[in-house]
């Protein structure tokens, strides 16, 4: 089911219609009852391409799967509120293939699907522990298979993102070191203590009816008592960029009026809008915050914040222009590695900066 635009849906807090669009905010609305703003972002998805002895694990989706029944895909699914993207990928692999996975890297760059508002992060990994383990299909999987690159059933691949990730993995090399290693897992997973388990919204976004929690299911999930549709909570999605030039990185000091991180330094970025790819979002944000037209040159990493729940993609970029502060920034400045203002860094921006410096500012 396509998610309604905020102006067509209902407020999850009070159940009134979302009739008032927020000026200048595409795809976002304000409740006509309680006046709360409502932002709509793509939903984060995470999965793993497990590698063993030069072969990659794929799962054939059963009739119980929500999409792609009969096709082959990697184990994966939606990131739940309260978990990181890495944790979601490992959980989905356990649920779909009965295997404990250890993530070793990121495949390619996150794949945007604007037509359904999904942002898909695909990790590469291997079976955890000394034993390979016996893979067994879960309820949404009818068959499992380990495929060498020349055995992949391309005509039966379920989703374009699966095909794209497989092509990137093969180009990188199944037995080669990951282009974006994640061993040990990134520090972003420990940014903040675990928040309380999220509760589902009080009201259904589709009809405004009351919502009851789904017993025994994931936290944050429920079902509408009026229309019986499932209701759940997922992290928001965002993208940021570290523009690097002449051995220095561009940082922006967030406006003092910002609710989070006001007055602190960070890589420019922001939430991904409905129907927008992650790379489009970060280029738009850079233009708004620094006046720069930037080129995306690579991936810095994918990071998760638990509270508020956000999955964000950090890119590297380049530009020939000179930055200017925008409406949401008080100052923009170039910093060398030994000039990074750590005591004044926005806490969400610390793990991406640490990752950037590990790979260097060249």
Q: Are 256 and 320 found together in one domain?
A: yes
CA-to-CA separations, 210 to 73, 154, 216, 221, in angstroms, rounded: 35, 44, 19, 13
Residue 226 belongs to some domain of the structure: no
DSSP H helices, the chain, are 85-97, 160-172, 278-290, 350-359
Full residue range of the structural domain in which residue 170 is found: 45-185
- Give pLDDT tens digits for 187-243: 444 444 556 677 888 999 889 999 998 876 667 788 999 999 988 889 999 999 999
Nearest Cα neighbor of 197 from 173, 214, 178 is 214
Q: Is 265 left (phi over 0), alpha (psi -120 to 50) or beta?
A: beta
Catalytic site includes residue 134: no
Beta-bridge mates of residue 136: none
Nearest Cα neighbor of 107 from 12, 173, 19 is 173
Question: For the CA atoms of 57, 60, 66, 69, what is the dihedral angle to 10 degrees?
Answer: 150
- Give pLDDT tens digits for 38-64: 778 899 999 999 999 999 999 999 988
More confident residue, 165 or 231: 165
pLDDT, residue 33, reads 86
Q: Are 170 and 246 found together in one domain?
A: no
90-104, 180-194, 281-295, 305-319, range with the lowest pLDDT: 180-194
Domain count, the chain: 2
pLDDT, residue 11, reads 87
Percent of the chain with pLDDT over 90: 65
Q: Are 261 and 337 found together in one domain?
A: yes
Contacts of 77 (CB under 8 A, 6+ apart): 45, 46, 47, 88, 92, 95, 96
Nearest Cα neighbor of 195 from 215, 222, 220, 214 is 220
Which of 155, 185, 215 is the last residue in one of the domains?
185
Q: Are 176 and 243 found together in one domain?
A: no
pLDDT, residue 336, reads 97
Residue 212 belongs to some domain of the structure: no
Q: Are 173 and 249 found together in one domain?
A: no
Report residue 55: phi and psi, to 5°: -125, 155
**Contact criterion met (CB below 8 Å) for 251 and 332:** yes
Residue 195 belongs to some domain of the structure: no
pLDDT, residue 18, reads 80
- Give pLDDT tens digits for 297-352: 999 999 998 878 899 999 999 999 999 998 889 999 999 999 999 999 999 999 99
More confident residue, 184 or 19: 19
pLDDT, residue 60, reads 96
Residue 331 belongs to some domain of the structure: yes
- Give pLDDT tens digits for 57-91: 999 999 888 788 899 999 999 999 888 999 999 99
CA-to-CA separations, 208 to 38, 227, 270, 359, in angstroms, rounded: 14, 9, 29, 48
Residue 213 belongs to some domain of the structure: no
Which of 144, 164, 185 is the last residue in one of the domains?
185
What's the mean per-residue pLDDT of the chain?
88
Going by pLDDT thresholds of 50, 70 and 90, the confidence category of residue 25 is low
Q: Are 167 and 279 found together in one domain?
A: no
Answer yes or no: is pLDDT of 153 > 50.
yes
Q: Are 70 and 155 found together in one domain?
A: yes
Going by pLDDT thresholds of 50, 70 and 90, the confidence category of residue 6 is very low
17-26, 150-159, 205-214, range with the lowest pLDDT: 17-26
239: enclosing H helix or E strand: strand 236-245
Q: Are 49 and 180 found together in one domain?
A: yes
Which of 185, 213, 245 is the last residue in one of the domains?
185
CA distance 217 to 198: 12
Q: Are 148 and 269 found together in one domain?
A: no
Q: What is the CATH number of the domain that holds 290?
A: 3.90.79.10
20-24, 45-49, 165-169, 244-248, range with the lowest pLDDT: 20-24
Answer yes or no: is pLDDT of 255 > 50.
yes
DSSP for 271-322, written as a single string: EPPTT--HHHHHHHHHHHHH----EEEEEEEEEEETTTTEEEEEEEEE-SS-
Going by pLDDT thresholds of 50, 70 and 90, the confidence category of residue 133 is low
Q: Are 145 and 261 found together in one domain?
A: no
CA distance 58 to 145: 5
CA distance 87 to 89: 5
More confident residue, 3 or 27: 27
Q: Are 176 and 252 found together in one domain?
A: no
Top-ranked range on mean pLDDT: pick from 31-40, 110-119, 212-221 = 110-119
Catalytic residue among 143, 331, 344, 347: 331
Answer yes or no: is pLDDT of 4 > 50.
no
pLDDT, residue 188, reads 43
pLDDT, residue 187, reads 46
Say if pTM beats, i.e. exceeds, 0.85. Answer: yes
Pairing of strands 118-127, 43-52: parallel
């Amino acid at each position: 089911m396509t998610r309604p635009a905020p102006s067509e849906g209902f407020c999850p807090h009070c159940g009134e219609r979302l009739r008032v669009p927020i000026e200048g905010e595409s795809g976002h609305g304000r409740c006509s009852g309680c006046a709360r703003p409502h932002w709509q972002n793509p939903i984060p998805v995470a999965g793993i391409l497990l590698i063993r002895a030069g072969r990659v694990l794929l799962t054939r989706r059963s009739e119980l799967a929500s999409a792609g029944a009969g096709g082959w895909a990697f184990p994966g699914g939606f990131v739940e509120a309260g978990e990181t993207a890495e944790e979601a990928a490992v959980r989905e692999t356990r649920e779909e293939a009965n295997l404990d996975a250890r993530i070793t890297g990121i495949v390619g760059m996150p794949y945007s699907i604007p037509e359904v508002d999904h942002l898909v992060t695909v990790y590469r990994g291997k079976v955890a522990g000394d034993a390979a383990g016996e893979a067994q299909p879960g309820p949404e999987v009818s068959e499992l298979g380990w495929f060498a690159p020349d055995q992949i059933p391309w005509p039966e691949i379920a989703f374009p993102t699966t095909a794209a990730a497989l092509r990137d993995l093969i180009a990188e090399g199944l037995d080669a070191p990951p282009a974006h290693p994640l061993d040990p897992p990134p520090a972003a997973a420990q940014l903040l203590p675990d928040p309380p388990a999220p509760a589902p919204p009080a009201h259904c976004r589709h009809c405004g009816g009351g919502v009851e929690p789904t017993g025994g299911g994931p936290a944050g999930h429920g079902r509408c008592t009026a229309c019986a549709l499932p209701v759940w909570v997922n992290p928001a999605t965002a993208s940021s960029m570290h523009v690097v030039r002449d051995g220095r990185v561009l940082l922006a000091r967030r406006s003092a009026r910002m609710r989070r991180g006001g007055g602190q330094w960070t890589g420019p970025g922001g939430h991904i809008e409905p129907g927008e790819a992650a790379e489009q979002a970060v280029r738009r944000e850079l233009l708004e915050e620094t006046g720069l037209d930037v080129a995306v040159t690579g991936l810095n990493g994918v990071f998760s914040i638990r509270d508020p729940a956000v999955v964000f993609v950090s890119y590297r970029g380049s530009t020939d222009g000179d930055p200017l502060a925008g409406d949401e920034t008080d100052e923009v400045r170039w910093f060398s590695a030994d000039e990074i203002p750590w005591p004044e860094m926005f806490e969400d921006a610390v793990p991406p900066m640490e990752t950037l410096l590990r790979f260097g500012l060249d």
